[in-house]
């Protein structure tokens, strides 16, 4: 039997608003991740001692998310101390990269069973914490980076504005896509489409959280049109005088708390344990891109993985392109000529949230469940990442 890396199960928490008072904001991030790890074992009646490794994604690895949070979470979940854990940072694609590392380890014969996972509590560890936001004297770059980019890099919101200007994506188009995301996610939730992937979380006040808090079913173009640009400043306007500032909180992904995990193993081990694989990993790609535009790497990453897989875009039955900002899937769709009906058919991160380190395995679960529901064979997942990078993964439903 081949060393195919197969997916047995993928679970996630609901998406909580990543600010004080959010549904999951009272839960320590290690406990959030421990909850999905424990549920993954329980749902599949798996002895945790059989797990060769746990690889987790987390972006802001400081404060409550420091000290290898993946190892902390697996011990908190009751795994024996013989099970190791590692935490990786490929920015927004951290847990997608964790899944790639896990699957590639299985394919290489280094693992029989491995869990890929991710977590981010953006309410408790704010965005930018790992960049020294608490101390303006800290510089994550250094002199050589400043020499290469003397004008300085920019935040992702400005990168999104640069994309809008280069591809002429208007405010109405951005807002229409954001409204689409909420409408699709709300419809999917009403149908129960997320029931198989979501596991309940007990909040700090004892409430049981079972639904995504970030979906706004009543979102309309009119409500989005009233929002002000989120990233404009006089200094940035002076540097980029041609931008007319179209990115708002409404056409961007919200700050989010969440965790997710995927059980991955060799096809041979799954057969020995009597577990039924739901899909296999087909192809992988990762690429760097212009760190000023930053968010466009999904385009070359998709082209690279399709070439490696010897597939065309029309061979793919569902696409999950992370909605960090509405312009990312829009420019991706425009450049690839992809079928809009197959793009984020259950909504995306604008509605479902973007808990940075968790999003990769969250998208994997949503994609897998969509393929099973629709009867599709191939699914493509791609994620833009801070610093100008992107991951792409193709899975094949079994």
Which positions are annotated as active-site residues? Answer: 92, 354, 384
- 252 burial class (0-12, 13-18, 19+ CB within 10 angstroms)? buried
How far from the centroid of its chain's Cα atoms is residue 336's Cα? 21
**Close Cβ partners of 168 (under 8 Å, ≥ 6 residues apart):** none
- To 10 degrees, what angle do helices 298-309 and 327-336 make? 40
Cβ atoms of residues 202 and 14 within 8 Å = no
DSSP of 47-73, one letter per residue? -GGG--EEEEE-S--SGGGTTTHHHHH
Question: What whole-number distance in Å separates Cα of residue 281 and Cα of residue 341?
Answer: 23
Question: What whole-number distance in Å separates Cα of residue 69 and Cα of residue 81?
Answer: 14
- H/E run at residue 183: helix 171-191
Q: Where are the beta strands (DSSP E) in the chain?
A: 5-12, 16-17, 53-57, 85-88, 113-121, 201-202, 208-209, 256-266, 279-288, 318-321, 378-385, 389-397
Label residues 19-41 b or e (16+ Cβ within 10 Å = b).
Answer: eeebbbbbbbbbbbbbbbbbbbb
DSSP of 346-377, one letter per residue? T--HHHH---GGGHHHHHHHHHHHHHHHHT-S
């Amino acid at each position: 039997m081949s060393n195919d890396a197969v997916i047995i199960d993928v679970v996630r928490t609901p998406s909580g608003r990543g600010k004080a008072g959010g549904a999951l904001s009272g839960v320590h991030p290690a406990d959030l991740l421990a909850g999905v790890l424990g549920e993954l074992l329980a749902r599949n009646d798996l002895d945790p001692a059989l797990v060769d490794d746990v690889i987790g994604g987390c972006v802001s690895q400081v404060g409550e998310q420091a000290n290898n949070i993946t190892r902390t979470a697996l011990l908190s979940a009751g795994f024996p101390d013989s099970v190791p854990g590692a935490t990786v940072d490929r920015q927004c694609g951290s847990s997608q990269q964790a899944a790639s590392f896990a699957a590639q380890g299985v394919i290489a014969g280094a693992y029989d069973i491995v869990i890929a996972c991710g977590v981010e509590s953006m309410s408790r560890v704010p965005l930018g914490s790992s960049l020294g936001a608490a101390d303006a004297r800290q510089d994550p770059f250094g002199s050589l980076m400043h020499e290469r980019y003397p004008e300085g890099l920019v935040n992702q919101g400005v990168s999104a504005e640069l994309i809008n200007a280069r591809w002429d994506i208007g405010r109405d188009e951005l807002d229409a896509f954001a409204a689409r995301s909420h409408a699709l996610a709300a419809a999917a939730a009403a149908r129960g489409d997320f029931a198989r992937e979501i596991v309940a979380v007990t909040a700090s006040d004892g409430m049981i959280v079972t639904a995504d808090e970030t979906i706004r079913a009543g979102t309309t173009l009119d409500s989005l049109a009233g929002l002000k640009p989120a990233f404009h400043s006089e200094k940035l306007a002076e540097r980029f005088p041609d931008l007319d500032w179209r990115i708002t909180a409404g056409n961007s992904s919200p700050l989010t708390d969440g965790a997710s995990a995927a059980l991955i193993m060799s096809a041979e081990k799954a057969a020995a344990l009597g577990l039924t694989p739901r899909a296999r990993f087909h192809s992988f790609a990762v690429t760097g891109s212009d760190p000023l535009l930053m968010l466009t790497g999904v385009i070359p990453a998709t082209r690279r993985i399709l070439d490696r897989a010897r597939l065309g875009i029309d061979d793919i039955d569902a696409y999950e392109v992370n909605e960090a900002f509405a312009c990312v899937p829009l420019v991706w769709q425009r450049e690839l000529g992809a079928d809009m009906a197959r793009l984020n058919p259950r909504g995306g991160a604008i509605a479902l949230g973007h808990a940075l380190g968790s999003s990769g395995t969250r998208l994997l679960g949503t994609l897998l469940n969509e393929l099973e529901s629709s009867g599709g064979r191939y699914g493509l997942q791609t994620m833009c990442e801070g610093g100008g990078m992107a991951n792409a993964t193709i899975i094949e439903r079994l």
